[in-house]
A and B are shown apart, each in its own frame.
Chain A
């Protein structure tokens, strides 16, 4: 891509002080563009002869975005000799094409972006592939690295090392210049050569040991390695000398792994098994005599398939002798995580409303018709889905046993699913709420809504009205218990 420079037809030749003299470019560009000097009439050089540049035309405003300046400063670090001309051309074009940079398919914009990316990549590679070698000990400890970047990125990349190795004295030497940090100040110095850096470091043997052992010979992917860690960096990486040997031996190593027959268990294995994993006694499934025992049994429930997606069984909670039992539909996201019923948003409303009615949550038993959370994953969220009749039926098994042990005076069905499970018949909650139905076995089942219904109402006034109706129902429950 070297420009033809046998003789020059350009009207202006700009001399920049050094390869990354972006301020010099800005100053020259301001002078030239405000004098309407066309891109093709300028030659940009680092060092060399210069023509005198015109003074900026007073009163001519040059508007250019901060973003362009910041990105241009990066592109100016590229080693391509045409970078300054490209930057000027883009500056020029932006005056008549204000949206130029949003047209990602424009050839100049693409070139700019490609150069920006190359510089950023080089900077990133420097952050990755610099290898310090230690000299001295204690207070005299110093770390020195030799690195050969593709572009003029030392100044760009150095602050990273300051932020990371603040507590060390270090120097990075490159063919274009050097950077030094003395734990207080970053200084840039002259170019250096490889011989100026230490030739070895005792930790490199450890590092090579790690590199050789973390490699899995059964997964050889040499191309993937080389695209991320190009060979040009290898000569300064202490671990790279191992690579050819590892590749050459990989096939043999993998073959051996596969060919080796399974061996006898290690000698200590039996002792470990006996000590830590004594054979569990097959627990006979006896009828649970307490809520705790029932909860234990339910934790392994496989009566329907819901367990496979949920975290855990969310069993009922409350005193064994509770006289009042609340039954909801199923646990939600929070209940599933915590393993306790009614602790999510609906649980908060429930707690507040029964509290206002003078019912102490710790005196009642709270449970659900279905004891595993049923949901559809949507990215990072779980969307509640309604349990079907089969799942409700399968889980009645537990609800029946809970009620049998508790023998409550009154059960409150929160919502249709609970009502259906308790009454074994479809129930229209909206029509029948606020009253108790006595089952054939004499148990009174009071019907009301599920508190999550209130959460789903968008209109705040309507939600408040529904909450009030729910509170009214709970007060009725309270009176029934008192009576």
Chain B
């Protein structure tokens, strides 16, 4: 094999990493370099330093240590049967690239993933070594996210958590049957147990130790996961059920949905079409409804026979249209829980309504100043001097507030 330059490797191993959705660099808590005199900080919210034309933020240097892999997951560009060019970074190269980029303010830190070569422990060991060298040799205080290999040993996971801000294990697909079919060598049972162990470890380390009363550092940004959407026929209702289970069971910070994207040198087992980006977007909206808006997973798609989120309108509006009997709501009286169910109100608008209405009765004009679009909200609320009358029940309500269908971009 010809010797590749670092730049050639970077091209191959960032191309190989682009299908991982997560780019979050938040949740690591506060840390800076004032004491250490080193390089790097994290301040709660991560920063997006750039955006690619796919609309995705570039916050971290997201690369694979290697794209050689013994697994043959048909949705993955790095599967062992793929004819993609292969490359392998040295630990040193990854450390140098991270520091070079970070010092120029291109990135918040590193998101390191890897194909599995030889054995899970060997690969995980090298990833941990990258993190260790960054933290100890380079006094690096920026963000580190390590994609954890489920089969790696407990000692390596422990070390990974010591140096990394976030650890993640991909569930790969929404159902175990899907994993068995498309990723035959992966074991969903092992993935579940690994996530369970990670949660237990994070909780254990969050307790002050008996002796020193201090907390040991262990993945302060928690754990997350990703599943590919649209590679098999799993409906949205099943996907959301899996998410609800994962959030509840393993205290995940985030579940990422990655619309299955055609890959060069694709396997014949998969749909060869454009990634379902709108579906991915609706799944994130539904995920938000579960986490921040008090919706139960079952409610979101209750009454939707095919179990799929509507693509034309957002899931909250869809729910409201199916549950018109709950509306209109008096915004000067309704409790927070119900205000959160009004289409067009975000959590912040709801907080401001609750705060403001303690001092004055809110009129429709006030609401117009507190939310994005009063036209969307109007049919669902009663305000001082405003009642939607029959509008809430109008048969054409959907047509009047749903965004006009745009011509689909043609390719």
Residues of A within 8 A of B (CB): 99, 102-105, 110, 124, 127-134, 143, 145, 160, 162-168, 183, 201, 203, 205-207, 209-225, 228-229, 237, 239, 243, 246-247, 250-251, 254-258, 260, 262-266, 268-269, 272-273, 275-277, 299, 308-309, 311-312, 336-339, 375, 377-382
Min Cβ gap A36→B in Å is: 26
Given the interface pairs A165-B103, A273-B72, A375-B248, the reply to whether A262 lies near B52 with Cβ below 8 Å is no
Contact between B106 and A309 (Cβ–Cβ < 8 Å)?
A: no
The answer to whether B103 touches A309 (Cβ under 8 A) is no
CA A211 to CA B51, docked complex, whole Å: 9
> What is the chain B residue whose CB lies nearest that of A313?
B189
**A223 & B11 in contact (Cβ 8 Å cutoff):** no
Q: What are the residues of chain A within 8 A of B337 when measuring CB–CB?
A: none
Residues of B within 8 A of A276 (CB): 70, 185
Which B190-209 residues have a C-beta within 8 angstroms of A?
192-193, 195-197, 199-200
Chain B residues near A228: list those with CB within 8 A: 48, 51, 55, 57
Q: Would you call B297 an interface residue if the criterion is a C-beta within 8 Å of the partner chain's C-beta atoms?
A: yes
Beyond the given pairs A103-B356, A218-B262, A221-B54, 9 more chain A to chain B contacts, judged by CB atoms under 8 angstroms and listed by A's residue number, are A102-B359, A103-B360, A132-B104, A207-B106, A211-B52, A225-B54, A246-B52, A255-B411, A338-B196
Q: Are A207 and B52 interface neighbours, CB within 8 A?
A: no
Q: Which residues of A contact B265 (CB under 8 A)?
A: 260, 262-263
Which of A104, A133, A251 makes the CB contact (< 8 A) with B355?
A104
Q: Is B217 an interface residue (CB 8 A)?
A: no
**Chain A residue contacts of B262, Cβ below 8 A:** 218, 254, 257-258
Complex contact B34–A262 (CB within 8 A):
no
In the assembled complex, which residues on chain A have CB atoms less than 8 Å from the CB atom of B261?
216, 218-219
B89 interface contact, C-beta 8 A: no
Contacts of B47 in A (CB 8 A): 124, 127-128
Known A209-B11, A377-B247, A379-B291; contact A336-B370, beta-carbon cutoff 8 A? no
Chain A contacts for B52, CB-based, 8 A: 211, 214-216, 225, 246
Q: In angstroms, how far is the closest chain A Cβ from the Cβ of B144?
A: 15
Given the interface contacts A257-B263, A263-B83, A269-B80, does A337 sit within 8 Å of B185 by beta carbon?
Answer: no
Is B53 an interface position by the 8 A CB rule? yes
Known: A132-B103, A269-B80, A382-B249. A219 touches B277 (CB 8 A): yes
Contacts of B80 in A (CB 8 A): 266, 268-269, 272-273
* A269→B18 contact, CB < 8 A: no
CA–CA, A257 to B39, complex, Å? 40
- Can you show 24 pairs from A to B with CB atoms below 8 A apart? A104-B369, A105-B362, A164-B40, A167-B33, A206-B6, A206-B7, A213-B10, A213-B12, A215-B18, A215-B52, A223-B55, A224-B51, A224-B55, A225-B51, A228-B55, A246-B52, A246-B53, A257-B266, A260-B264, A260-B265, A273-B72, A336-B196, A380-B247, A382-B248
Seen from chain B, the residues whose Cβ lies within 8 Å of a Cβ on chain A are 6-7, 10-12, 14-15, 17-19, 32-34, 36-41, 43, 47-58, 61-62, 70, 72, 80-83, 97, 100-101, 103-106, 139, 141, 176, 185, 189, 192-193, 195-197, 199-200, 244-245, 247-249, 251, 259, 261-268, 272-275, 277, 290-291, 297, 352, 355-356, 358-360, 362, 365-366, 369-370, 411
Question: Is B297's CB under 8 angstroms from A168's CB?
Answer: no
**Beyond A216-B261, A269-B81, A380-B251, is A128–B104 a contact (Cβ under 8 Å)?**
no
Contacts of A239 in B (CB 8 A): 50
The answer to whether A337 and B199 touch across the interface, beta carbons within 8 angstroms, is: yes
Decide if B7 touches A205 in the complex (CB within 8 Å).
Answer: yes
Give complex CA distance A203, B97 in Å: 9
| Residue ID in chain B nearest A203 by CB atoms | B100
CB distance from B331 to the nearest CB of A (A): 12
CB contact between A105 and one of B61, B248, B356 (< 8 Å): that residue: B356
Chain B residues, CB < 8 A from A104 = 352, 355-356, 369-370
Tell me whether A143 and B104 are in contact in the complex, defined as CB-CB below 8 angstroms, given that A105-B370, A223-B55 are known contacts: yes
B274 touches A254 (CB 8 A): yes
> In whole Å, how far is B205's beta carbon from the nearest beta carbon of chain A?
15
CB distance from B383 to the nearest CB of A (A): 11
In whole Å, how far is A102's beta carbon from the nearest beta carbon of chain B? 6
- Complex partner residue of A131 from B70, B105, B176, B248, CB under 8 angstroms: B105
Give A168 to B105 CA distance when docked, in angstroms.
12
CA distance A257 to B50 in the complex (A): 25
Residues of chain B within 8 A (CB-CB) of A377 are: 244-245, 247-249, 297
Partner of B104, one of A203, A272, A336: A203
- Residue pairs across A and B with CB atoms within 8 Å: the count is 250
Q: CB distance A213 to B15 under 8 Å?
A: yes
Question: Which of A102, A162, A337 touches B200 (beta carbons < 8 Å)?
Answer: A337
Measured between beta carbons, the chain B residues less than 8 angstroms from A379 are 247-248, 290-291
How far is B101's CA from A128's CA once the two chains are assembled, in angstroms? 13
Nearest CB to that of A141 among chain B residues? Answer: B103
CA separation between A356 and B114, bound complex, in Å? 51
Q: In whole angstroms, how far apart are the Cα atoms of A312 and B192 in the complex? A: 8
CA distance A197 to B362 in the complex (A): 53
Tell me the bound Cα distance from A253 to B290 in angstroms: 37
User: Complex: how many Å from CA A217 to CA B39?
Assistant: 34
Q: Smallest CB–CB gap between B227 and chain A, Å?
A: 15
Residues of A contacting B267 in the complex (Cβ-Cβ under 8 angstroms): 262
Chain A neighbourhood of B141, CB < 8 A? 164
For the complex, give the distance between the alpha carbons of A158 and B118 in Å: 47
The answer to whether B263 touches A168 (Cβ under 8 A) is no
Contacts of B17 in A (CB 8 A): 214
| Complex interface: chain B residues within 8 A of A380 (CB) | 247-248, 251
Evaluate whether A134 and B41 lie within 8 angstroms (CB atoms) in the complex, with A254-B274, A269-B80 already known. Answer: no
B11 near A213 with CB under 8 A, answer yes
A210 contact set on B, CB distance < 8 A: 10, 14, 61, 101
**What's the least CB distance linking B20 to chain A, in Å?**
10
Of B34, B56, B251, the residue contacting A163 (CB under 8 A) is B34
Given contacts A131-B105, A166-B32, A273-B80, contact A220 B200 (CB under 8 A): no
Min distance, Cβ A244 to any Cβ of chain B, angstroms: 9
Give A248's nearest chain B residue, CB to CB: B53
Q: How far is the CA of A251 from the CA of B100 in the complex (A)?
A: 32
Residues of chain A within 8 A (CB-CB) of B355 are 102, 104
Question: Separation in Å of the A116 CB from the closest CB of chain B?
Answer: 14
Contact check, B48 vs A128: say whether CB atoms are below 8 A apart: yes
Residues of chain B lying within 8 A (CB to CB) of residue A337: 196-197, 199-200, 249
Which residues of the partner chain A approach B365 to less than 8 Å between Cβ atoms? Answer: 105
Q: Which one of A105, A205, A258 has the greatest number of beta carbons of chain B within 10 Å?
A: A105
> Does B49 lie within 8 Å of A99, measured CB to CB?
no
Complex CA–CA separation, A205 to B11 (angstroms): 11
B188 smallest CB distance to A (angstroms): 10
- Cβ of B189 and Cβ of A299 under 8 Å apart? yes
Q: Quick check: A166 and B272 within 8 Å, CB to CB?
A: no
Query: How far does the Cβ of B241 sit from chain A's closest Cβ, in whole Å?
Result: 8
Instruction: With A162-B34, A210-B14 as known contacts, state yes or no: A216 contacts B54, CB within 8 Å.
Output: yes
Contact between A166 and B53 (Cβ–Cβ < 8 Å)? no
Nearest chain-B residue to A242 (Cβ)?
Answer: B53
Do A131 and B275 contact each other (CB < 8 Å), given the known contacts A124-B47, A250-B53, A339-B193?
A: no
Assembly CA distance A143 to B101 (angstroms): 12
Nearest CB to that of A172 among chain B residues?
A: B105
Contact A312 B277 (CB under 8 A): no
Q: A163 near B263 (CB under 8 angstroms)?
A: no
Q: Which of A104, A229, A255, A312 has the most chain B CB atoms closer than 10 A to its own CB? A: A104
A261 to chain B, nearest CB (A): 8
A378, B291: Cα distance in complex, Å: 10
Residues from chain B with a CB closer than 8 A to the CB of A215 are 18, 52-54
Residue numbers in A under 8 Å from B264 (CB-CB): 256-257, 260
Q: Say whether A206 contacts B356, CB under 8 Å.
A: no
Could you say which of A258, A264, A309 contacts B273, with CB atoms under 8 Å apart?
Answer: A258
